[in-house]
A and B are shown apart, each in its own frame.
Chain A
Amino acid sequence: MMTMLGGEPFLLVSKQEQQNYPLYIRSVPSDSELKFHYTVHTSLDVVEEKVSAVGKVIVDQRELYLGLLYPTEDYKVYGYVTNSKVKFVIVVDSSNTSLRDNEIRSMFRKLHNSFTDVMCNPFYNPGDPIQSKVFDSMVSSMMVQTC
């Protein structure tokens, strides 16, 4: 199994288009970035599974927040899917007990709002990696909060 670096809490954000290209990835600490890439990539399977399962039951009022995707010994992976099938994934250190489901949910909502702003930029080409400074700073502030 993967061995995890313990210690600092971290947060990682990723967005996925249909094709599941990464739109934006941020992680703290950055030294084990590769591991988080793998983690997030792998979690997409769970996201897909959940989305397809949810889609069958309730079509109309779909909850965007997918909840805990899967827990491992050292971290928790949460997922969120927008109506346009853009996926947000947050990975947090499982030792971080201050983050409850509600906090995660509001983080996702904030992310979604910010992401909407990015998409509204007429110069943003959907599908390109996000390079918005505003978005960056928003994510940074969110990550600082959780630390």
Chain B
Amino acid sequence: MAQCVQSVQEFIQDSFVPMVAVLCSEDADRVTRKNNLNFSELLRPFCRLTSEGHLRDPSNQIQVVKNLKICVSNIVTEPPQQVVTRRLLSEVVSASQPAESSVANVITAGDYDLNISDRSLKASLPWYNSWKETLMELSTSKFYTATTPWFETYRETFLQSMPASDHEFLNHCLACMLVATSHENAPVEQFQKLSQEQHRIQHGSECTYPKWFIPNTLKYYVLLHDMGEGEEQRAESIYEDMKQRYGTQGCYLLKINSRTSVQSSNEQIPDPWSQYLHKSNFQNQEMYDESLTGIVNNMSVENSINAPEADGLDLPAKDAPCKTCNDHPLRLDQTSAHMDGIDALRAPVSDGKKVPSASSTHGACLTLNDHDRIRQFIQEFTFRGLLPHIEKNIRQLNDQVLVISDSYRLLFPKNPWYPPEAPELQIRKMADLCFLVQHYDLAYSCYHTAKKDFLNDQAMLYAAGALEMAAVSAFLQPGAPRPYPAHYMDTAIQTYRDVCKNMVLAERCALLSAEILKSQAKYSEAATLLIKMTSEDSDLRSALLLEQAAHCFINTRSPMVRKFAFHMILAGHRFSKAGQKRHALRCYCQAMQVYRGKGWSLAEDHINFIIGRQSFTLRQPENAVSAFRHILLNDSKQAASQQGAFLREYLYVYKNVSQASAEASLPQLPLPCIQSSATRVFFGHDRRLAEGEKQAASHVSLDQEYDRELSQQWRELEEQVVAIVNRGVLPVTFQPTQYCLNSQTDNMRFPLAVVEEPIIVEVVFRNPLKVSLVLTDLSLLWKFALKEFTLPHGSEASEIVSNEKDVQVKHSLEDLITTEVISEFCMNPEETKVARLKLLPHQTGELHIRGVVYNLGAAPSPGSVFSDGMFVRGRQDLEIQGPRLNSTKEEKTSVRHGPDRRLDPIITPPMPLLEVFFINFPTALLCGEIRKAYVEFANVSKVPLTGLRVVSKRPEFFTFGSHTSALTPLSPGASENCSAYKTVVTGSSSSSSSAVATTLVSPLDFGAGGNGSQPGVVDIPLPDSVLQPGASIQLPMWLRGPDREGVHEINFLFYYESTEKTSKMSHRVLRHTAIICASRSLSVRATACRSNTLPERSMERDGSMLVFVDVENINTNEAGVREFHIVQVSSCSKQWRLHSCINPVGDKDSKLTSRERGKLCFRAIKCRNQEATSNAAGRYTFADINLGNEQIISSTTPCADFFFRRCQTTELKKGFTTGGVSFGQSGSLSDSEGDIASVVRKCSEVDLNIVVLWKAYVVEDNKQLILEGQLHVALQTIGKEACSLSQKEEAQEMVLLKFRPELPPPLVRPSTEQLSHLIKTNLHYPESYDHPFPQKSLCMVPVTLTLSNCSMVDVDVVIDLRHKATSPETLEIHGSFTWLGQTQYKLPLKAQEVHKLQLTACFIHAGVYNLGTHRVFAKIANQDSTCEASQQSSMPALIVVNSI
């Protein structure tokens, strides 16, 4: 139970005080009225006596009476009406609200810290925060307990308004004051009259009320003298007369009103009445102060909701069951009931009469002196009049009781109703008297006796009363000789309630008992008692008692916080039923502290809901909204219907709130949840995606998912092209163009948007509820600062315009920025959905997108009444937290976030806008297939476009043709069936003849080979290099199928600029991703071999080579591709060219059907022109050997283009993989060694590129198509096979990361394999030799060994003829022969020198011999370190020796 201001003893004493009635003459009433008081009211503040009184008990012991209080009241002949009492109680409770400014009371109970004062009610959404601080201050003082003044007021009023009952005398009148004034004509007669009146009231038959204690009531005569009116002497004389008549102890002269009203304002007189009167004077309708009026008015409305409750004190119990099922405290009311409540409130109570509060000053005519006089008067009356009177009566009763006690009981039959003079009642009366004068010993024994008697008589009401008072007096006995008999109280309560059906008495008893138990720290007993007293007949009482019980629970030794909370909720419910909305709200708020954030979501939601509703009815809409918000924000576990109800109620409340404050900015809405970090911003216009055959560049769209790797690729491409444009250097201010910003992109800088181009913001909404939501009129909120960027620096921000507030100005805002509005956006239960909201800026400046604005509504559910019009307008901000910073130490140790400028684009001046369309762009190609397509470039902006470039990682895939080729952009339709190649009809194949067409071409013509040029970047040849606004141009484009089969994604980045440079945006880009499916065509393998034939002509002496080309049809699509024809084989090299085909080909073009394989053999020679023309350095010689009757000029577009592009890419790759090593090598090696290495390498190097041109006959849709294509093979080393498929792309293996310093590259020496190519050997001998063996057993054959040095350095050669074939097998087959003469030679050979060595072989039998048994070792001259390397053994040189 909450802490009271009074101690328990005081409280009980004050609950039972001597009652004194007052009878006033009219004139006396008039005199006191000057002070705006009647006589009893005048005395009330002074009714507590400050000094001690004394009286003697029957045994002549002196009894001290301390701190006595008396109650003086006018005689009211009507017993108090229960309805009136009830209303009075209700009013005092609602008038007594917790003081808002009071210090927070925090009770620490276990893990919980409870704030019991009203503070929590004031703190809005983070309810917890504010009092957590006060808690810190107060947590030390553990014995802070809550005060509940409304309960005390209620109790006091309740006890005062108890109707007097026959079974007890405590509140019967003991004395009567008769008051007259000195100004009356005949005061003495007036007194007589009054005395008779009193007599009539007490003893007459017509009045049963008030009840009187003792038949001969003490009459006290008071002469009132108004100092301002009459002569004092007259009063004195009358008083003297009275003293004669009534004795000095029976009368008094009271002088008041000494102050004239004139001087009233000068003096400040305390007003002791105010604190007493507002409670008691309700009926007078005078004392309503303003706030009270408000509350009462509110209450009248509130009560109308609970109509059955308001008028039923004695509401029969039969109603209870139906009530309980309707108004279960934990029931979440459905909206229907509630809406009534709100509707009722909507007709607000502004008609409440406001009574001017001016009349509420009391005691205007009284001075402090007068106050003292009154105080003195009371003292005099009590000590001289009342106490002796009581003393006398106690004695009398004591005597009476002693005399009659035994005899009476025998005489009279037992009877539960006693006549007033019954001896049991006399005992009781005596007990009550003793009790009133604080003689608790005697009182207890009397009560105890009376109790026995009553119980014997089965007079239950009387017995209960005696039990109650016996218990109380036992408790109040000084020194506590006996323990407090709690069971007396329990029996009394039970009897009152169950037997007597008198709830009022039961309640009084319970209040007393609870207070006593509480003082003895028996909190749980007190709580049980109080809870037992709650019943259906009075909600107010139940509420107050439940609240007190709740307070008891936190005061137990181990505080029961949850019980506290639960009972607070029950109390809150009863308060609200009783119409005490404020108290109800307070209870729920206090309970909330326990339930909050503990995971009891159902309970939490319920409480929040009630708080919201109560706050709303109490006109605290902010609290209401935040409470409702809380329900909706959390992931609610409520059922769908419940959520729907919450939502509708929230909307309703919200609507009312927003209507009330129409001028304020839009409120924040809690639903649906916005996942702000998932917000994407897209800068881009509406693009035509496809138009007939045209297919637009894929570019960027919101439908694409973000791919970090991909965007990095695009970024690299853009860097590449920008670097080219800026002469190889990437500008410091470079910022990659980002069209779509999301959480993964770099949002540290302000993005750039172009004026008149739309900005699309994609907002992700999540509906957490199980009911559908409808958003209407959804649009973006923004702030815009107008700026002219074209002006140099002088552009300061003009005023900031926003569409956040001014609803009226909207039309002028349209000129600035067009805001697209989504008229309806539905969200299904628990759905996550994106909304794309568009802005179209018309001016340059700085834009800040702030949030979204929309009408929130519940989806109309079937059968719902509140389907339409339940929309509230509100906003939600888009606040995106930037990435966490982690670069400096400070940032690492603390949590800091960088800015995220996704939503703050800068609107720049107009920029050109390019659209690219592809015409006849294939989706599937054979590997190496050449296809011609067209590209259309269109400038769709109002600004000319220039500097158009395209960059790709796969430059070998496409070409726009060379500079040299005539730019005749045929229309795409005209070229449909033509070959992509430029051809010349020759009529015959050039395979056999020497008429091989050769052309010399510089790679620069094809945009390749230039230093510093990035191979990926291609300038697109625009006429005049400018594309005018609205113009479009179509350009041919050749594509070559990638060499590797599979699906290829090829990224194109188109780069372009505006003709006029602006500072904000230097360029723009357009992206395209082409997807090409490449299928296998041919596989070409080629090998170059040194021909061992003796050079016949001197010019071909050193440069002749055999090239074997192995072509295999590896196409797997047997149905589609019929056959491949090798149409032509071309060579491109700086040094070599194909000379002739040495294939004995029957058919002209070699045909390869599926899985077939063919071999072509060519002879290649060194180019003559290399030496001839000096300016030919770096040029390539193209030589075509056509196998058909058509020559494809390979030195033109597109064949040469693709050739050079391929070269570039392979070079690029090589550069990446081996470049570093080779540089290091040349640096670290000594000059000579480096030379040797290169010399040796050169010796075996060829650098011949073979281009195989083919045609494929393909059947597709019953139509035969001829596809053409080219495959490249690069021959680099003699004897090493090269393949068109480039062997798994140099096996891009995963390289293990090594964290060791890289070792210096090892000394690379020419390998033995390389060294073995230094010397070319050749044997010359007759193929068959006839020798007459019978005649001459030895056959000697001359053999010439030709040694030619292929390298450019001197070489020492050792020739060893003694060498025998190692394996015995060869011995057997070939027999043996011997070389005659010198068997080992050592020769120095100069560079390129040819030396002939005459040898003689000697045979002894006829047969076939292999002469090639010699071994040649070569060693570079002057190199001691290198050992001699065995040279490649020449082919078997067979000789037939015939015997004649």
Q: Which residues does A use to contact B, with CB under 8 Å?
A: 1-3, 19-22, 33-35, 37-38, 41-46, 48-49, 52, 129
- The answer to whether B570 touches A1 (Cβ under 8 A) is yes
> With A and B bound together, what is the CA distance between A49 and B556 in angstroms?
10
Across the interface, which residues of A come within 8 angstroms of B566, CB to CB? Answer: 38, 41-42
> With A and B bound together, what is the CA distance between A52 and B606 in angstroms?
31
Across the interface, which residues of A come within 8 angstroms of B329, CB to CB? Answer: 2-3
- The answer to whether A41 touches B599 (Cβ under 8 A) is no
- The answer to whether A49 touches B560 (Cβ under 8 A) is yes
Question: Given that A2-B329, A3-B325, A52-B558 are contacting pairs, would A41 and B600 also be in contact in the complex, using a CB cutoff of 8 Å?
Answer: yes
Contact of A38 among B534, B560, B561, B603 (CB under 8 A): B603
Across the interface, which residues of B come within 8 angstroms of A33, CB to CB? Answer: 602
- The answer to whether B603 touches A37 (Cβ under 8 A) is yes
Q: Does B332 contact A (CB under 8 A)?
A: yes
Question: Given that A2-B570, A22-B599, A33-B602 are contacting pairs, would A45 and B553 also be in contact in the complex, using a CB cutoff of 8 Å?
Answer: yes
Q: Does B324 contact A (CB under 8 A)?
A: yes
- The answer to whether A21 touches B599 (Cβ under 8 A) is yes
Q: How far is the CB of A124 from chain B (nearest CB, A)?
A: 17
- The answer to whether A1 touches B602 (Cβ under 8 A) is no
The contact sample of 22 A-B pairs, CB cut-off 8 A, is A2-B570, A3-B328, A20-B598, A21-B599, A33-B602, A34-B330, A37-B602, A37-B603, A38-B566, A41-B562, A41-B565, A41-B603, A42-B562, A42-B566, A43-B562, A44-B562, A45-B561, A45-B562, A45-B563, A46-B560, A49-B560, A129-B599
B566 and chain A: residue at smallest CB distance? A42
Question: Given that A34-B330, A42-B562, A48-B110 are contacting pairs, would A3 and B324 also be in contact in the complex, using a CB cutoff of 8 Å?
Answer: yes
- The answer to whether B330 touches A38 (Cβ under 8 A) is yes
Q: Does B595 contact A (CB under 8 A)?
A: yes
Interface membership of chain B positions 541-582, coded 1 if the CB is closer than 8 angstroms to chain A and 0 otherwise? 000000000000100001011110110011000000000000
> With A and B bound together, what is the CA distance between A37 and B603 in angstroms?
7
> With A and B bound together, what is the CA distance between A37 and B329 in angstroms?
14
Across the interface, which residues of B come within 8 angstroms of A35, CB to CB? Answer: 328, 330
Q: How far is the CB of B789 from chain A (nearest CB, A)?
A: 54
- The answer to whether A42 touches B558 (Cβ under 8 A) is no
Across the interface, which residues of B come within 8 angstroms of A3, CB to CB? Answer: 324-325, 328-329
Question: Given that A37-B603, A45-B560 are contacting pairs, would A21 and B553 also be in contact in the complex, using a CB cutoff of 8 Å?
Answer: no
Across the interface, which residues of A come within 8 angstroms of B606, CB to CB? Answer: 34
The 6 closest A-B pairs by CB, nearest first: A45-B560, A21-B599, A3-B324, A42-B566, A45-B562, A45-B563
- The answer to whether A42 touches B563 (Cβ under 8 A) is yes
Q: How far is the CB of B1113 from chain A (nearest CB, A)?
A: 57
Across the interface, which residues of A come within 8 angstroms of B560, CB to CB? Answer: 45-46, 48-49
Greatest chain B CB density within 10 A among A21, A35, A45 is at A45
Across the interface, which residues of B come within 8 angstroms of A129, CB to CB? Answer: 599
B532 and chain A: residue at smallest CB distance? A1
Q: Total number of A-B contacts with CB less than 8 angstroms?
A: 59
Contact of B600 among A22, A43, A48 (CB under 8 A): A22
Q: How far is the CB of B321 from chain A (nearest CB, A)?
A: 9
- The answer to whether A19 touches B569 (Cβ under 8 A) is no
Across the interface, which residues of A come within 8 angstroms of B822, CB to CB? Answer: none
Across the interface, which residues of A come within 8 angstroms of B602, CB to CB? Answer: 33-34, 37
> With A and B bound together, what is the CA distance between A136 and B2 in angstroms?
44
Q: Would you call the interface of chain A mostly helix, strand, loop, or mixed?
A: helix
- The answer to whether B558 touches A49 (Cβ under 8 A) is yes
> With A and B bound together, what is the CA distance between A42 and B569 in angstroms?
11
Q: Does B801 contact A (CB under 8 A)?
A: no
> With A and B bound together, what is the CA distance between A134 and B699 in angstroms?
52
**Interface residue total, chain B, C-beta cutoff 8 A:** 27
Q: Does B666 contact A (CB under 8 A)?
A: no
Q: Does B531 contact A (CB under 8 A)?
A: yes
Across the interface, which residues of A come within 8 angstroms of B531, CB to CB? Answer: 1
Which residues B74-130 have CB closer than 8 A to chain A?
110-111
A23 and chain B: residue at smallest CB distance? B599
Identify 20 new A-B residue pairs, CB closer than 8 A, beyond the known A3-B329, A41-B562, A45-B562: A1-B534, A1-B570, A3-B324, A19-B111, A20-B111, A20-B598, A34-B330, A34-B603, A34-B606, A35-B328, A37-B602, A38-B330, A38-B603, A41-B566, A42-B562, A42-B563, A42-B566, A45-B563, A48-B110, A48-B560
> With A and B bound together, what is the CA distance between A137 and B1034 in angstroms?
71
Greatest chain A CB density within 10 A among B329, B563, B565, B595 is at B563
> With A and B bound together, what is the CA distance between A136 and B450 in angstroms?
64
B324 and chain A: residue at smallest CB distance? A3
> With A and B bound together, what is the CA distance between A34 and B111 in angstroms?
23
Question: Given that A34-B332, A38-B566 are contacting pairs, would A48 and B558 also be in contact in the complex, using a CB cutoff of 8 Å?
Answer: yes
> With A and B bound together, what is the CA distance between A137 and B450 in angstroms?
66
B327 and chain A: residue at smallest CB distance? A3
Interface membership of chain B positions 1201-1217, coded 1 if the CB is closer than 8 angstroms to chain A and 0 otherwise? 00000000000000000
- The answer to whether B562 touches A21 (Cβ under 8 A) is no
Contact of A41 among B553, B558, B595 (CB under 8 A): B595
> With A and B bound together, what is the CA distance between A128 and B982 in angstroms?
75
Q: How far is the CB of A53 from chain B (nearest CB, A)?
A: 9
> With A and B bound together, what is the CA distance between A129 and B598 in angstroms?
12
Greatest chain A CB density within 10 A among B330, B553, B558 is at B330
B561 and chain A: residue at smallest CB distance? A45
> With A and B bound together, what is the CA distance between A129 and B637 in angstroms?
13
> With A and B bound together, what is the CA distance between A35 and B600 in angstroms?
12
> With A and B bound together, what is the CA distance between A52 and B110 in angstroms?
12
> With A and B bound together, what is the CA distance between A22 and B1141 in angstroms?
90
> With A and B bound together, what is the CA distance between A15 and B947 in angstroms?
72
Across the interface, which residues of A come within 8 angstroms of B328, CB to CB? Answer: 2-3, 35
> With A and B bound together, what is the CA distance between A31 and B565 in angstroms?
22
Across the interface, which residues of B come within 8 angstroms of A34, CB to CB? Answer: 330, 332, 602-603, 606
Across the interface, which residues of A come within 8 angstroms of B558, CB to CB? Answer: 48-49, 52
Interface membership of chain B positions 263-286, coded 1 if the CB is closer than 8 angstroms to chain A and 0 otherwise? 000000000000000000000000
Q: How far is the CB of B593 from chain A (nearest CB, A)?
A: 13
> With A and B bound together, what is the CA distance between A35 and B603 in angstroms?
8
> With A and B bound together, what is the CA distance between A19 and B596 in angstroms?
12
> With A and B bound together, what is the CA distance between A1 and B603 in angstroms?
17
Across the interface, which residues of B come within 8 angstroms of A22, CB to CB? Answer: 599-600
Across the interface, which residues of A come within 8 angstroms of B600, CB to CB? Answer: 22, 37, 41
Across the interface, which residues of B come within 8 angstroms of A46, CB to CB? Answer: 560
Greatest chain A CB density within 10 A among B324, B570, B603, B606 is at B603
- The answer to whether B332 touches A38 (Cβ under 8 A) is no
Across the interface, which residues of A come within 8 angstroms of B563, CB to CB? Answer: 42, 45
Which residues B261-318 have CB closer than 8 A to chain A?
none
Q: How far is the CB of B948 from chain A (nearest CB, A)?
A: 57
A1 and chain B: residue at smallest CB distance? B534
